[in-house]
Amino acid sequence: MDDVRGLNFINGEYRRGSSGKTFDNISPVDGSLVGVVHEAGASDVDAAVRAARAALKGPWGTMALAERLKIVCALVDGIQARFDDFLAAEVADTGKPVSLASHLDIPRGAANFQIFADIVRNHHGESFMMPTPDGTGAVNYTVTRPKGVIATICPWNLPLLLMTWKVGPAMACGNTVVVKPSEETPSTAAMLGEVMNSVGVPPGVYNVVHGFGPGSAGEFLVKHPGVDAITFTGETRTGEAIMQNAAIGVRDVSFELGGKNPAIVFADCDMDKAVEGTMRSVFANCGQVCLGTERVYVERPIFDEFVARMKQGAEALVCGRPEDKSTTMGPLISQEHQDKVLGFYKRAEAEGATVVTGGGVPDLGAELAKGAWVEPTIWTGLPDDSAIITDEIFGPCCHIRPFDNEDEVIRLANDTPYGLACSIWTENLSRAHRVAPQIEAGILWVNSWFLRDLRTPFGGSKQSGIGREGGTYSLEFYTDMSNVCVKL
Length of the chain: 488
Q: Which does 452 bind (CB under 5 to 8 A by kind): ligand NAD, ligand 6OD, none?
A: ligand 6OD
For residue 375, indicate whether it is catalytic.
Answer: no
Q: Which does 460 bind (CB under 5 to 8 A by kind): ligand NAD, ligand 6OD, none?
A: ligand NAD
DSSP letter assigned to residue 263: E
Least distance in angstroms from the C-beta of 261 to ligand NAD: 9
Interior CA angle at 54 toward 51 and 55, to 5°? 85
Q: Which does 83 bind (CB under 5 to 8 A by kind): ligand 6OD, ligand NAD, none?
A: none
Q: Which does 213 bind (CB under 5 to 8 A by kind): ligand 6OD, ligand NAD, none?
A: ligand NAD
CA 218 remoteness from chain centre: 17
User: Measured from the CB atom, is 278 or 464 closer to ligand NAD?
Assistant: 464
Least distance in angstroms from the C-beta of 178 to ligand NAD: 12
CA 333/CA 286 separation, integer angstroms: 9
Q: Which does 365 bind (CB under 5 to 8 A by kind): ligand NAD, ligand 6OD, none?
A: none
CA 328/CA 294 separation, integer angstroms: 19
DSSP states of 408-464 = HHHHHHH-SSEESEEEEE-S-HHHHHHHGGGS--SEEEES-SS---TTS-B--EETT
User: Measured from the CB atom, is 240 or 404 closer to ligand NAD?
Assistant: 240
Least distance in angstroms from the C-beta of 256 to ligand NAD: 3
Q: In this chain, which residue has its C-beta nearest to ligand NAD?
A: 213
Q: 42, 99, 120, 56: which is closest to 324 by C-alpha? A: 99
Scanning 136-270, the segments in alpha helix (DSSP H) are: 159-172, 187-199, 217-223, 236-246
**Active-site choice (290, 319, 398, 422):** 290
Q: Which does 165 bind (CB under 5 to 8 A by kind): ligand 6OD, ligand NAD, none?
A: ligand 6OD
Q: Which does 376 bind (CB under 5 to 8 A by kind): ligand 6OD, ligand NAD, none?
A: none
User: Measured from the CB atom, is 91 or 298 closer to ligand NAD?
Assistant: 91
Q: In this chain, which residue has its C-beta nearest to ligand 6OD?
A: 290
Contact 100, 94 (CB under 8 A): no
Rounded to whole angstroms, the maximal C-alpha distance in the chain is 86
Least distance in angstroms from the C-beta of 337 to ligand NAD: 8
How far apart, in Å, are the Cα atoms of 95 and each of 158, 318, 329, 359, 424? 11, 14, 9, 21, 30
User: Measured from the CB atom, is 394 or 425 closer to ligand NAD?
Assistant: 394
The helix or strand, by DSSP H or E, that contains position 467, with its residue range, turns out to be: none
User: Measured from the CB atom, is 32 or 456 closer to ligand 6OD?
Assistant: 456
CA 458/CA 444 separation, integer angstroms: 10
Least distance in angstroms from the C-beta of 49 to ligand NAD: 14
User: Measured from the CB atom, is 71 or 170 closer to ligand NAD?
Assistant: 170
Rg of the chain, C-alpha, whole Å: 23
How far apart, in Å, are the Cα atoms of 53 and each of 11, 47, 148, 217? 10, 10, 7, 18
Residues of this chain that bind ligand 6OD (CB under 6 A): 157-158, 162, 165, 289-291, 452, 458
For residue 290, indicate whether it is catalytic.
Answer: yes
Q: Look up residue 136 and give its amino acid.
A: T
Least distance in angstroms from the C-beta of 288 to ligand NAD: 7
How far apart, in Å, are the Cα atoms of 217 and each of 147, 151, 165, 183? 22, 11, 21, 10
Other C-beta atoms within 10 Å of 346: how many? 11
User: Measured from the CB atom, is 158 or 189 closer to ligand 6OD?
Assistant: 158
Contact 435, 418 (CB under 8 A): no
User: Measured from the CB atom, is 26 or 162 closer to ligand 6OD?
Assistant: 162
**Active-site choice (39, 184, 256, 392):** 256
Residues of this chain that bind ligand NAD (CB under 6 A): 153-157, 162, 180, 182-183, 212-214, 218-219, 222, 233-235, 238, 241-242, 256-259, 290, 392, 394, 420, 460, 464-465
Q: Which does 279 bind (CB under 5 to 8 A by kind): ligand NAD, ligand 6OD, none?
A: none
Least distance in angstroms from the C-beta of 79 to ligand NAD: 20
DSSP states of 26-54 = E-TTTS-EEEEEEPP-HHHHHHHHHHHHH
CA 239/CA 257 separation, integer angstroms: 7
User: Measured from the CB atom, is 157 or 327 closer to ligand NAD?
Assistant: 157
Least distance in angstroms from the C-beta of 460 to ligand 6OD: 10
Least distance in angstroms from the C-beta of 160 to ligand 6OD: 12
- Secondary structure (3-state) at 247: coil
Q: Which does 446 bind (CB under 5 to 8 A by kind): ligand 6OD, ligand NAD, none?
A: none
- The set of catalytic residues is 256, 290
